Copies of this chain bind each other. A is one copy, B any other.
């Protein structure tokens, strides 16, 4: 290419990557007994001289990751040939083009497989934009002008709760004192809590050992999966509370297991162990159900959001007074753009955001969003923690760094989304070296491949 030719997106490469986590019961909970943490992974390649790529992914838990890849493939035509400058200076235009595709939107609209694919692609553009700006994403966002950030948001269906002018006002006020907060962030990091002790598949000894280690490692909150069996849950909560003492926050997570009445009764039965929040007590779609549960289980807080399909559901969770804690997810909604809307909605309603990160790569992504929120939106880390799960990080080129129960602010340019090439080669399904060796063996053992 001649050097004066504007750089374009030349390829949109997609990968079905699956990690065999189910064999260790890492990630096991009441609804997801055997997840194989997976990524429908996308790389945007360009002909720019800088050689940068944009990486993004949708997180899934195994089967169906191929469907998620098919959805990424369906977006290729929207990306190939686009100007890199135009994409990176205004990711919002791509986001609107994708969510507004008049035929594709029938598959949602703005929910499920198609919307997660849009989020992956949009996040890949933000990764590319941050690399080109030579900044970690949290800093690119925190340095951006409020007017530009507002233009990145689709206010459709939001204006009864948040208008562009109100968002602009929140962002202008949010910047005040950002310098001091940035210094503190760089020194101390952003507080984390850990789910690692609490997977449902772990026995009580492992729970005790990991819970004590979490406290020793500086965490002030841990989380337990609950919802499969009440007697087990009472025993596990008692075990965990005994292990960590009265001053550590103990959150419990039902992963959508209950109906409204059952959620109220079950949470009541665990109240003696002083749970800090009950997470996903019922269907993520049940806004009114969460509101009813919250009224009944106070002072136990209600937390949800990892499966909130889009900003419209989040808006209603806030309008209905259904949540004490909003758990955004970096890879379920329409990417950074929609999460900007979600952070501002939460700020408008004064509800703390504690991102969901139980998955592969989710810790890497959400830290940027939480740090931006601290610097430029809510301005505080009070009652705010990012989930931390301590596996699969070594597959990433820029893995999270946890120090004394805090996420260290990333310094590498980008969105920390890139997997190591050797991990891609090994865990691509079914042709990567791990699966190519494993699947025939599983079949020989008589298990379905």
Interface 9-residue window, one of A104-112, A144-152, A224-232, A425-433: A104-112
A114 to B112, CA, bound (A): 8
Contact B292 A107 (CB under 8 A): no
Q: A36, A155, A157 — which one has the most chain B CB atoms within 10 A of its CB? A: A157
Contact A63 B259 (CB under 8 A): no
Chain A residues numbered 25-73 whose CB sits less than 8 Å from any CB in chain B: 31-36, 60-64, 66-68, 70-71
A63: chain B residues at CB < 8 Å are 74, 101, 103-104
Interface 9-residue window, one of A120-128, A306-314, A360-368, A386-394: A306-314
Contact A104 B64 (CB under 8 A): yes
Contact A111 B112 (CB under 8 A): yes
Question: What secondary structure prevails in chain A residues at the interface with B?
Answer: loop
**A404 lies within 8 A of chain B by Cβ:** no
Chain A residues numbered 316-374 whose CB sits less than 8 Å from any CB in chain B: 316, 319-320
A292: chain B residues at CB < 8 Å are 160
**A90 lies within 8 A of chain B by Cβ:** no
Contact A307 B109 (CB under 8 A): yes
A32 to B62, CA, bound (A): 33
Number of A residues near B (Cβ < 8 Å) is 63
Contact B103 A107 (CB under 8 A): no
Interface 9-residue window, one of A280-288, A395-403, A409-417, A435-443: A280-288
Contact B160 A64 (CB under 8 A): no
A260: chain B residues at CB < 8 Å are 159-160
**A102 lies within 8 A of chain B by Cβ:** yes
With A31-B102, A32-B106, A35-B102 already in contact, the answer to whether A285 and B313 are too (CB < 8 A) is yes
A289 to B90, CA, bound (A): 30
A115: chain B residues at CB < 8 Å are 112
Chain B residue nearest in CB terms to A155 = B259
A312 to B63, CA, bound (A): 24
Contact B70 A67 (CB under 8 A): yes
A312: chain B residues at CB < 8 Å are 283, 285-286
Chain B residue nearest in CB terms to A71 = B67
**A408 lies within 8 A of chain B by Cβ:** no
Chain B residue nearest in CB terms to A78 = B63
A–B Cβ pairs within 8 angstroms, 23 of them: A31-B102, A33-B102, A61-B102, A63-B101, A63-B104, A64-B103, A68-B107, A70-B70, A70-B71, A107-B112, A107-B113, A110-B285, A156-B283, A157-B259, A160-B260, A283-B312, A285-B312, A285-B313, A287-B287, A287-B288, A288-B316, A288-B320, A289-B316
Which A positions have Cβ atoms within 8 angstroms of B? 31-36, 60-64, 66-68, 70-71, 74, 77, 101-116, 155-160, 256, 259-261, 282-289, 292, 307, 309-310, 312-313, 315-316, 319-320, 448
